[in-house]
A and B are shown apart, each in its own frame.
Chain A
């Protein structure tokens, strides 16, 4: 089953690269995403109780945490690929047809790389896959080939490559430390299970440098401040479906790598070191997001800053580190994934219909395009953290767990940031949703909105009853405990 999950997007990438863009390519893309989602659900059911599945000669290792990540990737990928055909303004000339093929294939490569990262047994392979996501997404960010899009992808590839080089250096130091544990040089390994076994014997001084480098390195890719500056540009210039995939899963895949390393670091150094590091990065991210979101005039950049905010919230919960905090953080990953993809895809539709994402130029969506307007309204309400959506439940649970872990002061700071961002979201919602109606050039068809409505409903259901995921969430938190 893990092999099937990896194979689906890989095959789809080949097919989409070969067939002309159109209905077949779109169907294959969506089908691959659905296979991933289905595979994730099956694996989740199998692994929730603590079972671990291996495949491909031990290279692949799937536990409850991996399964949860596969489900999130599958869900967001399904939404994104379903919307791809529309937001992709494909002309009929040869160049734009070729570009549409490239685009479809790269999205599948991107998915395969993210899946590879979350199922890899070896931290070195996780690193290779995270780096592969950078390569696949660089051209996706620059897809529109406008000056701004090219600049955004340049900034993205340079900053993330530096970050990822630091992470590699950190992993090399882990490998070095594992060769000097007293178990002999043959014990040297980057295999997560072996490292976890060796962790209590790792040299604390080397491990401290290693963990710092890995957290900063992968943290660049998570979009944690002060390494966040690529994120708003890349998210706002990429086509809607790509923004959705980046914001909702790419960032959390990088966070997943930090989670895995944290397990080893805590065993080697005690919980204090990573906790301090993540608290600092998390609080700084919340502060940066709150400061910059206030004056933001572009809808997609606003959403990007909100992603930085949510990554900051996740960093705080991971810093608290109790099983409840981690389970809540993982529910937050799911809820953020669903909500933010709805908003980025909705923003893509807005861009398609109105040819702008500047907040001041979008007016009266609720009257002019009632369907799209309602979806955006519900999405913004969910993102601001109101019930019944699951972000409310997960934020509440994270805060309670953090207070219980003695981090009440951090919760206070987070709440301030949360209120500021919610204010900015409310102002935006008023601006783009209300106002006098004017005629609309390209109304959005209902069938394009159906997947978005389904995602919002799923998010609300998860907010009211977490039962479909509860055992998996606790299983995943147990993996990290």
Chain B
């Protein structure tokens, strides 16, 4: 892998994390979906750089799949749900933006500590970036638990998934294709299922603010 490839890989991996963190302060649902699309592109870039430098056809196919799924199909499905509710904005998040950014910084630190043994095991440049993927997944979790709208929660879920995907590409140049295919299909179906569920909840409950979902408490 040459210096240019390494530079691109750095850039794209950092972009995946940065776009995840950006989701913490955007409230407009449409903007969140835009962030997801950009994150999908960055992720596909990571996969294609790896594929080109390793001359790996299977990984190249995965890169195309990632682009189609994470920058195409998933944002499209979410966009359709959002379009039925124009001007939708997330209400006040459970934690305000400055505190959630501080939390995000702490999570990145946690990811670096957890990821240290991974970087030690492999001498490659890519493996050293793996903590970025862990950090993205943790940030996605923060988005998920601090947001009230179902649609923003799905965004959090997908950021987690993108973080995991980033780790996968950086550490292992992708898992075997059959698992990648199955996994991608599952992600798409989860998005479709939850989008449908959001529609059903809106029809049944009206305003789909999840903070009104109080019926099921232990």
Contact = CB atoms under 8 A, between A and B. Distances in A.
Contact of A209 (B114, B183, B196, B216): B114
Of B171, B179, B185, the most chain A CB neighbours within 10 A belong to B179
Contacts, number: 130
Nearest to A130: B186
B120 A157 contact: no
B197 A172 contact: no
Interface in B177-218: 178-179, 182-183, 185-186, 189-190, 193-194, 196-197, 200-201, 204-205, 210, 213, 215-216, 218
A155 B145 CA distance: 12
B190 A135 contact: yes
B170 to A, nearest CB: 9
Contacts of A209: 114, 117-118
B161 A229 contact: no
Contacts of A168: 164, 183
B197 A142 contact: yes
Nearest to A176: B171
B153 to A, nearest CB: 6
Interface stretch (A146-154, A340-348, A350-358, A452-460): A146-154
Interface string A208-243: 110000000000000000000100110001000000
Contacts of B120: 205
Interface residues of B, number: 43
Contact of B172 (A148, A176, A233): A176
A172 B118 CA distance: 11
B118 A169 contact: no
Interface string B4-43: 0000000000000000000000000000000000000000
Nearest to B133: A169
B208 to A, nearest CB: 9
Contact of B193 (A139, A146, A175, A208): A139
Given A135-B186, A165-B137, A154 B213 contact: yes
B189 to A, nearest CB: 5
A250 to B, nearest CB: 16
Contacts of B122: 176, 180
A127 B134 CA distance: 19
Contact of A173 (B171, B176, B186, B201): B171
